[in-house]
Structure 1
Amino acid sequence: MKGATTQSQPPANIQTQTIEIQNEIRMTVQRGIGGAQVKYEPTEQTSHMIEIGFNLGGPIQSVLYSDNRAQAQVSNHGQAHIAFYPGCSGLAQYCKGQPVCYLSFIISISLFEYYFDTLIMYVKEQMQERKSLCHTIFSPITADMKFVLQQMMLCPVQNKAKGLFYEGKALELVSYLRQTTNKERSCLKLTLTDEDREKMWEAKSILDDSIESPPSVQQLSQLIGVNEFKLKNGFRLVHGITPYRYLADQRLEKARNLLCEQKMNVSEVAFEVGYSSLSHFSKIFRSKYGVSPHEYMSNAGNI
């Protein structure tokens, strides 16, 4: 989060630098000495974005507000987090006299869904169940993460190469953070019976039949008669992939086949396989096949 200091207290001695890495990633670096509260107001952009933060300084205490409710959070030294707080205003307290060294990324929901194998609708479901204003996942900052963060703060390159440098390092951090969160999840042991395994195949069949409009995790777990934890982790154990990643791969494979047929344009293909955003579809397609959908369609006759 970033914002302006409140007038009721002396401002903290914090320097804030914001860098637009690309249209789906914005980076903010804050350094200095804490002291005052900082007030935040929701924007159209932050309501549709995910924050990934890395705290290398002192503790940061925050309170989020929405619909006459409040929720407190603390980001401690050496802690990373992934946070989704749609429509929330709030206050952040940088502890007086403590060093501030905080780097964060605001990324699009589509990038979050792709890199972390999680649909935002599942996150919203969890927030509703817990009556929470914010969905946050905490993780320790590893030695690898810290090294990359230091590189980003020093930034040895200039001009046009600077944006490419920041983008590459941002994705490197996302990769490390994903590994850390996956390890924490894998610590929870799961044993599947033969009946459970059959239900994982049933779940796969349901997803195959509903690529354009898939059921939520809660709905899918009810359809096959298991809880959500067993569905998410059991599906990975049986099929070697998360339900979301499987669904994304099936959508892209169907899109590839439709592009080969050349009976629809790229926008129609994207809509047909369940993507409402053409730019997101193009980005995900290129990341999997190495070319854009337009390029793939143009060369379909040679494939």
Structure 2
Amino acid sequence: MTITISQQAYDELFHQETVERYLRSASLTQHPDPDDLLDVVYRFPPALGQGYWREIQLREGMQLTIGNLQMRDRIITGAPEREDWWEYHFHFSGEHQDRYNLICGGQYALYGNGLAPQEIWDCSGKEPYSEILIHIQPELLYSFAGDREGELPRCLQPWIRQTERERYSRLGTATPTMQTVAKQIVQCPYQGIAKRVYLEGKVLELMGMLIAEEIEIGDGKYNPYSLKSDAVDRIHHARDILLQRLDEPPTLATLARQVGLNECTLKRGFRQIFGTTVFGYLHNYRLEQARQLLEAGTWRVGEAAQMVGYRDFTAFGRAFYKKFGIRPRDCMKKYSV
């Protein structure tokens, strides 16, 4: 089952849960650290699943969020166009798809400051969802520049853009050191001021690693998107399996297992090599094949639809018209003599 919910409704559910939790308690139990009122836990709405988001305001312009959730179902939310801070996501487990990236366990996504366009967030409910998020205002980034003008190095300047320009985005695989630091953040053993100093140091440590990678990318010494030749071969094999089974394509999990990849690597690599999703590729291929069959003038519309794996002829007609701007039967007439 898939739950589709607006960003406003999603936020209202969180607010309602926080208020009700407060009214049920004689104390502010949403604060896990009694010595830090800037450390707040928001319970995940039971209607959507279980777990929490924990927000810690470390200093002005720097916020850490820790998420640990188990969703009941796949959740799709719409985010409006907005101005956003510099942002870093690290995923321990679970995955979500936004306009830019599919982010899976062991990966991170980096977003610059600027205009975050209207987009859809698609979060799978198949496995526990665990991540940390770091938000930093541009002024704080500039404070680390180290020169009198506070100007960022050239390779980091895309991180900060004017509000009317779409923000920078990059996906990467976390190094073992990044993963260790991210776990240390979640497992912080301290409270109060010791906790705040410890967490801020870890956040800055992660930021230093990201900056080092960004500099290597700018110098052409690092390619975070490269796929090993073996993975490329496996992804091409997955494509071949799909095309051999147009009528009954395997599920994504089955396809990944058949070619010896995890689902995340298959999805990310498929988009990188073929420029679309696994089933987006299958959808386009089916329609292209159907068009060729109809243009040949040998098969009727229903026969062509069945040959490329469509059982619902109405759905086939809609998809065909959406892609080619012409109805299947008109395509057949156009090329018949």
The TM-score, its normalising length taken from structure 1, stands at 0.48
- Structure of higher CA gyration radius: 2
The TM-score, its normalising length taken from structure 2, stands at 0.44
